[in-house]
């Protein structure tokens, strides 16, 4: 009776995370074509027909590209807050009767045996959220696409058994890179994306709780690479007395294939 989690795809080209129990299977976002997600799920013997819900974080295409198709093909409910629904509804196509589910931020709701809390995050979208999901006494949190952390976010994800946290870019690579200035400013802004260093600093706060496992997520293809993200975060933690592999496990997500599959029990 374990809580299960796997990042199927993570990055600016598309995002989707699987979270499940023995009886409940859900996705957080579906930002790649349906066939890719179905193929990813089959790697660990989950069929699309078994999905009980798709949680949407916000309306950007790398988070919703496959949402409408999956909902139609497998009759899956879609969960989003009101402002996000206003932003995505015209992009999803026809949604089956009863499959439009609206929640309110900071209020619990359930998909079968998984308890879910959505909390606001700072990003340039209508009403973007992160999610904490609970099963028995275990907690998984997903927090990507945010320009900075704050006390409310730290509190929301504190004590997660597994945290999927953005490490989008290396600030110096971004500044020296080919992006136009307006895009650099957007990414570096308060409603943009977390840098590797931002992520390391956030983890210094979170390690004060019981966070023992983090997946670095939503890496930029142009302004980051996995070894750099890992090394930057590890260096910040270790220079503050946190031992990687003992005090906390740090793993990676990938843009074009699944991460490791985790059983949290």
Output DSSP code: residue 260: -
pLDDT single digits (tens) 131-167: 999 999 999 999 999 999 999 999 999 999 999 999 9
**Confidence grade of residue 256 (pLDDT, cut at 50, 70, 90):** very high
Residue 174 has pLDDT above 80, yes or no: yes
| Residue 67, φ and ψ in degrees, nearest 5 | -60, -50
pLDDT single digits (tens) 39-98: 999 999 999 999 999 999 999 999 999 999 999 999 999 999 999 999 999 999 999 999
**Confidence grade of residue 265 (pLDDT, cut at 50, 70, 90):** confident
Instruction: For residues 154 and 226, give the distance between their C-alpha atoms in angstroms, rounded to a whole number.
Output: 24
pTM check: above 0.95:
yes
What residue ranges define each of the domains in the chain, with the CATH number in brackets?
A: 3-264 (3.60.15.10)
Tokens of 20: 């499940």
Residue 21 has pLDDT above 80, yes or no: yes
Burial 72-111 (b: 16+ CB within 10 A, else e): bebebbbbbbeebbebbeeebeebeeebebebeeeeeeeb
Averaged confidence pLDDT in the chain: 97
Residue 1 has pLDDT above 90, yes or no: no
3-state SS, one letter per residue, for 108-174: CEEECCEEEEEEECCCCCCCCEEEEEEECCEEEEEECCCCCCCHHHHHHHCCCCEEEEECCECHHHH
């Amino acid at each position: 009776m374990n809580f299960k989690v796997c990042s199927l795809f993570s990055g600016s080209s598309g995002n989707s995370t699987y979270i499940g129990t023995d009886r409940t299977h859900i996705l957080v976002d579906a930002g790649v074509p349906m066939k890719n997600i179905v193929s990813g799920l089959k790697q660990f013997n989950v069929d699309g027909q078994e999905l009980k819900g798709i949680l949407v974080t916000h309306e950007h295409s790398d988070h919703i590209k496959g949402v409408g198709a999956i909902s139609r093909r497998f009759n899956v409910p879609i969960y989003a807050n009101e402002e996000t629904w206003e932003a995505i509804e015209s992009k999803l196509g026809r949604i089956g009767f009863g499959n439009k589910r609206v929640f309110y931020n900071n209020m619990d709701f359930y998909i079968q045996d998984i308890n879910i809390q959505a909390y606001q995050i700072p990003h340039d979208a209508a009403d973007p959220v992160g999610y904490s999901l609970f099963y028995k006494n275990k907690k998984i949190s997903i927090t990507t696409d945010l320009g900075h952390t704050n006390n409310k976010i730290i509190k929301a994800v504190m004590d997660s058994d597994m945290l999927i946290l953005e490490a989008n870019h290396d600030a110096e690579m971004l500044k020296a890179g080919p992006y136009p200035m307006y895009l650099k400013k957007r990414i570096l802004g308060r409603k943009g994306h977390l840098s590797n260093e931002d992520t390391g600093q956030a983890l210094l706060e979170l390690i004060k709780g019981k966070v023992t496992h983090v997946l670095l997520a939503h890496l930029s293809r142009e302004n980051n690479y996995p070894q750099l993200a890992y090394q930057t975060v590890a260096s910040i933690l270790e220079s503050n007395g946190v031992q990687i592999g003992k005090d906390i496990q740090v793993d990676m997500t990938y843009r074009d294939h699944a991460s490791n599959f985790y059983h949290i029990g």
